């Protein structure tokens, strides 16, 4: 199975900050990576697929990059509604696997 | 509006069975793979299973193989998860989601609690 490791596991930031979350795969997955946002007590929401492609309706302050084993999710200017937990997910091979999550909290 | 609504969760004893349902609306259900993902309390996301449009291909995470069965009824725009021989570690919110590998959207989830 491909292991997905996210860092940091949590971070504190202020509105307007630029933040970056890292996701590392235990083996190469090309660009077969997605990012999801989950708010407390809510279902996850798809943000990015193919490592860098924004889902329809996702604000342009979100961006994704990377290929192979190392990936990043960047929020260019954090907004109040962005405080949530973020998960990466590989779909290079079964079983599909998720990272452990990164909780973004208000400083 | 695309919508997925799960149902069928509840409290069940270890070794028991439960059948989850997910009703889809707002899109052509028969055109899409469908997926189940679960989340144990306070934990991260775990992919459980998915099923091809016509039901001819199904994939499972190892921990549920032989115990869980995914199925679908395209006439009723629904996907199901039959869960047998349930264990305490199956306790989680179970989400259905549209798609095979990139999942969008997700339902609101249904809680399954396995406890005596």
Cβ of B47 within 8 Å of Cβ of A101? The answer is no
Cβ of B44 within 8 Å of Cβ of A97? The answer is no
**Does A100 lie at the interface with B, CB-CB under 8 angstroms?**
yes
**Which token pair is A107?**
């400083």
Band (pLDDT 50/70/90 cuts) for residue A61 is: very high
Task: State pLDDT tens for residues A69-78.
Answer: 999 999 999 9
Task: State pLDDT tens for residues A17-56.
Answer: 999 999 999 999 999 999 999 999 999 999 999 999 999 9
Does residue A84 carry a pLDDT above 90? yes
**Does A58 lie at the interface with B, CB-CB under 8 angstroms?**
no
Q: Sort out which chain B residues have CB atoms less than 8 A from A49's CB and list them.
A: 102
Return all residues near B42 (Cβ < 8 A) that are at least 6 apart: none
The percent of residues in chain A predicted with pLDDT above 70, rounded, is 100
Task: State pLDDT tens for residues B33-68.
Answer: 999 999 999 999 999 999 999 999 999 999 999 999
Q: For the residues A57-83, what does the mean pLDDT come to?
A: 97
**Does A40 lie at the interface with B, CB-CB under 8 angstroms?**
no
Closest Cβ opposite residue B59 in set A42, A50, A94: A94
Which of A22, A24, A25, A23 shows the shortest CA–CA distance to A1? A25
Does residue A103 carry a pLDDT above 90? yes
The percent of residues in chain A predicted with pLDDT above 90, rounded, is 98
What are all long-range contacts of B41-45, with beta carbons under 8 Å and residues at least 24 apart?
Answer: B41/B91, B41/B92, B41/B93, B43/B92, B44/A87, B44/A98, B44/A99, B44/A100, B44/A101, B45/A36, B45/A38, B45/A44, B45/A87, B45/A89, B45/A98, B45/A101
**Which token pair is B20?**
């989850």
Task: State pLDDT tens for residues B86-99.
Answer: 999 999 999 999 99
């Amino acid at each position: 199975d491909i292991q997905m490791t996210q860092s940091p596991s949590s971070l504190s930031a202020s509105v307007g900050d630029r933040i970056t979350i890292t996701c590392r795969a235990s083996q190469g997955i090309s660009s077969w990576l997605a990012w999801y946002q989950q708010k407390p007590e809510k279902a996850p929401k798809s943000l990015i697929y193919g490592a860098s492609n924004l889902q329809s309706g996702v604000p342009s302050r979100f961006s994704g990059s990377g290929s192979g084993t190392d990936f990043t999710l960047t929020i260019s200017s954090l907004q109040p509604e962005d405080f949530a937990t973020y998960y990466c997910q590989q779909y290079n091979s079964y079983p599909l696997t998720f990272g452990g999550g990164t909780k973004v909290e208000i400083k | 509006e695309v919508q997925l609504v799960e149902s069928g969760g509840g409290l069940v004893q270890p070794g028991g069975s439960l059948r989850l349902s997910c009703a889809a609306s707002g899109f052509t259900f028969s055109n899409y793979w469908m997926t189940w993902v679960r989340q144990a309390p306070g934990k991260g996301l775990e992919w459980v299973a998915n099923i091809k449009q016509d039901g001819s291909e199904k994939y499972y995470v190892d921990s549920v193989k032989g115990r869980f069965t995914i199925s679908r009824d395209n006439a009723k725009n629904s996907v199901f998860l039959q869960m047998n021989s349930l264990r305490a570690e199956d306790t989680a919110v179970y989400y259905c989601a549209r798609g095979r590998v990139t999942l969008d959207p997700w339902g609101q989830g249904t809680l399954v609690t396995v406890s005596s």
